[in-house]
Amino acid sequence: MEYDAGLTDRRRQTRSNIYRYIYDAKGFCSRQSLARDLGLSLPTVYQNLSKLMSAGLVRDSGEQQSTGGRKASGLSIVPDARVAVGISVTEHRLRIAAADLVLNELAYQEVDNGPIHRFADMGGLLAQVLEEFLDRFAIDRGRLLGVGIALPAVMSPDSRYITAAPTLRLKDTTLEGLTDSIPYPTYVENDATSGGHAEFFVRGSGRNMAYLSLENGIGGAILVGGAPYLGDNRRSAEFGHMCVEPGGLPCTCGAQGCLEAYCSPRRIRGAFGVPLEEFFSQLECRGPRAGEYEALWDNMLRHLAIGVNNIHMALDCDVVIGGVLSEFLSPYLPRLREYAAGINFIVSDAANLHLSTLRRHTVSLGVALHFVTEFLEHI
Q: Residue count at the site for Zn ion (CB under 5 A)?
A: 5
Site string for Zn ion, 186-225 (x = CB under 5 A): ----------------------------------------
Residue 253 in the binding site for Zn ion (CB under 5 A): yes
Q: Which of 241, 303, 354, 361 binds Zn ion (CB under 5 A)?
A: 241
> Among the candidate windows 142-150, 235-243, 288-296, 347-355, which touches Zn ion by CB under 5 A?
235-243
Q: Which of 49, 153, 258, 320 binds Zn ion (CB under 5 A)?
A: 258
Please measure the distance between the N-terminal and C-terminal CA atoms of the chain and give it in whole angstroms.
6
* Residue whose CB is less far from Zn ion, 241 or 337: 241
**What minimum distance in Å lies between the beta carbon of 193 and Zn ion?**
18
Compute the distance between CA of residue 356 and CA of residue 6 in angstroms, rounded to an integer: 43
For residues 222 and 210, the answer to whether their CB atoms sit within 8 Å is yes
> Among the candidate windows 53-61, 147-155, 234-242, 366-374, which touches Zn ion by CB under 5 A?
234-242
Residue 251 in the binding site for Zn ion (CB under 5 A): yes
Distant-in-sequence, close-in-space partners of 204: CB < 8 Å, separation ≥ 6: none
> Among the candidate windows 23-31, 204-212, 239-247, 307-315, which touches Zn ion by CB under 5 A?
239-247
**What minimum distance in Å lies between the beta carbon of 274 and Zn ion?**
24
> Among the candidate windows 79-87, 199-207, 247-255, 321-329, which touches Zn ion by CB under 5 A?
247-255
**DSSP per residue, 166-214:** GGGTEEEEE-TTSSTT--S-EEEEEHHHHHHHHHHHHH-----EEEEEE
70: which strand partners?
67
Look at the alpha carbons of 43, 49, 50, 51 in this order and tell me if their dihedral is positive or negative: positive
**What minimum distance in Å lies between the beta carbon of 255 and Zn ion?**
5
* Residue whose CB is less far from Zn ion, 241 or 370: 241
Residue 154 in the binding site for Zn ion (CB under 5 A): no
Angle at Cα 316 formed by Cα 312 and Cα 320, nearest 5°? Answer: 60
**What minimum distance in Å lies between the beta carbon of 302 and Zn ion?**
18
Residue 293 carries which DSSP code? Answer: H
Q: What is the largest CA-CA distance in the chain?
A: 75
Residue 255 in the binding site for Zn ion (CB under 5 A): yes
> Among the candidate windows 25-33, 97-105, 245-253, 280-288, which touches Zn ion by CB under 5 A?
245-253
* Residue whose CB is less far from Zn ion, 148 or 240: 240
- C-alpha 6, offset from chain centre: 35
* Residue whose CB is less far from Zn ion, 181 or 236: 236
* Residue whose CB is less far from Zn ion, 189 or 238: 238
**DSSP per residue, 43-112:** HHHHHHHHHHHHTTSEEEEEEEEEETTEEEEEEEE-GGGSEEEEEEE-SSEEEEEEE-TT--EEEEEEEE
**DSSP per residue, 303-370:** HHHHHHHHHHHHH-SEEEEESGGGGGTGGGHHHHHHHHHHT-SS-SS-TTEEE-S--SSHHHHHHHHH
> Among the candidate windows 107-115, 134-142, 240-248, 290-298, which touches Zn ion by CB under 5 A?
240-248
**What minimum distance in Å lies between the beta carbon of 152 and Zn ion?**
13
* Interface with Zn ion (CB under 5 A): 241, 251, 253, 255, 258
